[in-house]
Chain A
Amino acid sequence: MTTDSDSWNPQEWVDRHGDYLYRFALARLHDSHDAEEAVQDTLLAAWKNRDKFQARASERTWLTGILKNKINDCYRARTKAPGHLDEESDVVALESMFKSDGHGLIPTSGWSGNPASEAENVEFWAIFHDCVSHLPERTASAFVMRELDRMDRREICKVLDITPTNYWVRLHRARLKLRECLERNWFQGKRD
């Protein structure tokens, strides 16, 4: 591996790592435009800071590290966007999923299968991913950071600038929506 950064051609990074970086970003941002922008910003930042590349690390690890920061920047920007609702609105949104007497509104039924046993099933995961991409943005980012990247709760709260209470409300809303989506698009079909 060369340490002479002047011999690098970042356009080769697109060929070698573009697919991986784009999929990495898309899995977290669920928006092709945002994913492309995150990858572009990553490659540009990497090119500008090529002198800082440590030869002992792999190129992909280094680029992915930069990409993670760009993804976090995108999460923050979405949170700060006009029309962004506050914590109280998240709580209200969760409470709207219950009746006035506090009992659940969500119809539930048993699942004929077990998602864990579907875990090898590519179709199942395509549906799961589709369900995640339909989550409201505020719940999606907390869920993806927790489940895909296994980020610590405190770290997630810091990146999204939310309280622990808000974090739990968002995570719970995400799980309820996903449960409903999986029921409708996967398990109901299997019962018929």
Chain B
Amino acid sequence: MLTCKDVAVLLSQEVDGELGLLNRAVLQTHLALCSTCRQIHRQFRLMEDALDESREFLVPASVETLPDETRQRLKRSLHDAMDNPESG
């Protein structure tokens, strides 16, 4: 009898569509008997659906622009590189 630990990684493989027939049968058998894993499987699927729709939202919403200090540092390092083309 396979435990939750035994089939754990199969859950992720199933969500990614990378499960072969045999392992699919193994996972389905476990899910039929285990409500915890069924719930996790369902929630993984929901997370994937959300990401499918809005992948670009993984970019941090709070960061709209370069911090000013960072911008100045970048410009300075580029300026130095342009002044010393042989270095670096």
Contact = CB atoms under 8 A, between A and B. Distances in A.
Interface of A: 10-11, 13-14, 18-19, 22-24, 26-27, 32, 36, 39-40, 43-44, 47-48, 94-95, 97-98, 101-104, 106, 108-111, 114-116, 118-120, 122, 125-126, 128-129, 132-133, 144, 146-148, 150, 153, 168-169, 171-172, 175-176, 178-179, 182
Given A126-B61, A129-B61, A14 B74 contact: yes
Interface of A is mostly: helix
B82 A172 contact: no
Contact of B79 (A11, A120, A179, A182): A11
Given A18-B74, A179-B40, A118 B50 contact: yes
A168 B57 contact: no
Say which size band chain B's interface belongs to.
35 or more
Nearest to B2: A102
A108 to B, nearest CB: 5
A14 B78 contact: yes
B3 A22 contact: no
Interface in B17-60: 18, 36-37, 39-40, 43-44, 46-47, 49-51, 53-55, 57-60
Contacts of B4: 98, 102-104
Contact of B58 (A22, A27, A108, A116): A27
A182 B47 contact: yes
Contact of B39 (A18, A98, A110): A110
B78 A119 contact: no
B4 to A, nearest CB: 4
Contacts of B36: 103-104, 106, 108
Interface of B: 3-6, 8-9, 11-13, 15-16, 18, 36-37, 39-40, 43-44, 46-47, 49-51, 53-55, 57-67, 70-71, 73-75, 77-79, 81-82, 88
A114 B8 contact: no
Given A40-B74, A44-B88, A179-B47, A19 B5 contact: no
Given A104-B37, A126-B61, A172 B77 contact: no
Contact of A126 (B62, B66, B71): B62
A106 B81 CA distance: 52
A182 B44 CA distance: 11
Contact of A153 (B9, B18, B70): B18
B27 to A, nearest CB: 13
A22 B57 CA distance: 15
A125 B46 contact: no
